[in-house]
A = this chain, B = another copy of it.
């Protein structure tokens, strides 16, 4: 092994390489067991998926192997709260309460703002405090006549009665089912925008608000159902389809689009476009500005935006004051509402939420339309919302889980999120998911479990019950400024730059998503990002690298001579590594022709030095994990063409599937069982020995 490179030159000293061919390696290669087939792998995956796990999320120990152990395990699998709940103590609870309260102070104004963004009038989601008295009276009448009707209404009340907004019901459901401890569930900007822009295309909310609301709940319901089924069928990988780069671009584009949408509120405009692309929005703003508008809206919006951003800056600077940044949106709402009420500014053009007393929400369970003309459109919207919501939630959950050092179960998260949304859709909520900004606040505030979500949910409920009426005078411009203040966090220029630095193709994905969202629509942006991402994988497969290997002097290590210029090629043996994991129809011809071309070049240029003519080709197949029939055909043709040129072909390090398929296709017999090797070194040695043998024969 330690001999000099000079030994390589003389084929007679081949055995002194010390490559120490293990006596059985060739037999090992050919006698490896059959790799698991498609059926076995599928069955294995299913069995593994549904095997109850003893050790799950929280810090709990093993469950005792009791008689009812399996039932408990199953219950714990569905409701992780049963697992971590047993070790939950007062200290953890105190942290959670603090975090929940902080979260609520941020959640209330944000939720109102996002409902606005989703084109659900904020009062719609907020005002139902008269509901109880009304329903209660109705219930009594019903109870006397239709008991089952009462039960239905009672259930609706339980689930839907406090349907203040999306910050109430989904977090409660998530709290008992989710595996993430930090995630804060509620409405988020991007999903709100996506939902409103897609549903607006089906029904214009300005023309038919009732149908629009019904469709929003239908989409939420279907999105929940899709999420649950993703989880049940273990399609957790679907959220990976949106790569990090795509999300960066998508979020930045969405943030700008959302920001532009806020111009309506910020400038107090009455008419605005339903389109989300930059061009239409700027056109709409320009045409709207020609009409008289009241600068008061803009003044209020800007001043509170500056206030919120300033508190955030302080919160970041002095870690202890972070609660300031968390409550500043709530403070803004309170201050601005008080100011407007005091000055009666709404009489002078300042737009206010106003329609708080509009009337009774019908139970949204009855609004869900699972049949009718819009169902297909709703399902399409729902599947996109479901995936985007999950992508955001799981990305958020994972990043915080990795900080805390525990593992998030993607499939379980999906089921929890889906159940939250199904329950939400029955209670006048729209699609909820994990919000990055609020999760960060929750984490900073010291949340230790999903109990903080429960505290937040209850706080929001109580606060809204109490403060409902006062929201009448809240200026819309403040809601706009609250949404605007959340947007800079969505635009991550630093990350985009680092993507550009590391991977140009990824940057293209990022840019595609960004431009698509900005100038097309949210769906176009997503489609562009997905198309570029998948094209990237296909392109990677179409033109794989084929590397010539050389030996590092004094070792038996073979590596690419392009990557390691110090590596030396072995004379008369061409060692080639195929750098693709799937030798298939789109690359096998390319690889075959590239190899043939090399050999022709070698043969043509080495007419003089006949001694150094290539006599053997060693194919290092270590990187090829799988191949299809086209790959096999290419190898067979390569072998034939090499045989025509009088060149021996040897296969080194074939993968499991590769050797199995070569056996099936009888290619092993074609090449010869003796020409399969476990390492490149052995293959080269055998080729050199063969050459020496040939040379002796010639003599």
Interface residues of A, Cβ cutoff 8 Å to B: 1-2, 18, 20, 22, 25, 28, 32-33, 35, 37-38, 55, 237, 240-246, 398, 402, 405, 407, 498-499, 501-506, 533-534, 536-538, 540-545, 552, 554-555, 557, 559-560, 562-566, 579-582, 584-590, 593, 596-597, 600, 604, 622-623, 625-626, 628-630, 632-633, 637, 640-641, 644, 655-656, 661, 664-665, 678-679
Contact = CB atoms under 8 A, between A and B. Distances in A.
B244 A633 contact: yes
A563 B240 contact: no
Given A402-B640, A537-B537, A665 B502 contact: yes
A505 B628 contact: yes
B552 A590 contact: no
Nearest to A248: B629
A32 B560 CA distance: 11
A681 to B, nearest CB: 9
Given A505-B628, A623-B623, 6 more contacts: A22-B555, A237-B586, A240-B588, A241-B586, A540-B625, A557-B679
A576 B54 CA distance: 25
Q: Which of A35, A407, A542, A557 has the most CB of B within 10 A?
A: A557
Contact of A563 (B537, B552, B623, B656): B656
A38 B242 CA distance: 23
Given A33-B565, A502-B664, A540 B626 contact: yes
B625 A545 contact: yes
B1 A604 contact: no
Given A243-B630, A585-B244, A22 B552 contact: yes
A584 B623 contact: no
List the 5 closest pairs (A to B, CB-CB), nearest first. A243-B585, A581-B581, A563-B656, A579-B625, A540-B582
Contacts of A244: 585, 629-630, 633
Contacts of A35: 562-563
B405 A243 contact: no
B580 A581 contact: yes
- Copies of this protein chain in the complex: 2
A350 to B, nearest CB: 46
Q: Which of A38, A55, A544, A623 has the most CB of B within 10 A?
A: A623
Q: Which of A237, A503, A565 has the most CB of B within 10 A?
A: A503
A410 B574 CA distance: 25
Contacts of A504: 37-38
Contacts of A538: 534, 537-538
A243 B628 contact: yes
Given A402-B641, A538-B537, A678-B559, A581 B579 contact: yes
Contacts of A533: 585-586
B641 A55 contact: no
Contacts of A580: 581, 625
27 contacts: A1-B18, A25-B552, A28-B552, A28-B564, A237-B586, A237-B590, A240-B587, A240-B588, A241-B585, A243-B628, A245-B585, A245-B629, A246-B585, A398-B589, A498-B629, A502-B661, A533-B586, A536-B628, A537-B538, A540-B582, A545-B625, A557-B678, A557-B679, A559-B678, A560-B656, A563-B656, A622-B623
Contact of A55 (B241, B542, B604, B622): B604
A651 to B, nearest CB: 15
A407 B240 contact: no
Contacts of A633: 244
Contacts of A597: 407
A250 B22 CA distance: 47
A582 B604 CA distance: 35
Contact of A581 (B398, B499, B604, B623): B623
A407 B585 contact: no
Contacts of A588: 240
A545 B35 CA distance: 12
Contacts of A596: 407
Given A538-B534, A664-B501, A625 B407 contact: no
Nearest to A582: B540
Contacts of A555: 20, 22
Contact of A665 (B243, B498, B562, B628): B498
Nearest to A555: B22
A626 B545 CA distance: 10
Q: Which of A28, A246, A562, A587 has the most CB of B within 10 A?
A: A28
Given A22-B555, A562-B656, A585 B628 contact: no
Contacts of A407: 593, 596-597, 600
Contact of A586 (B240, B398, B545, B628): B240
A178 to B, nearest CB: 18
Contacts of A540: 581-582, 584, 625-626
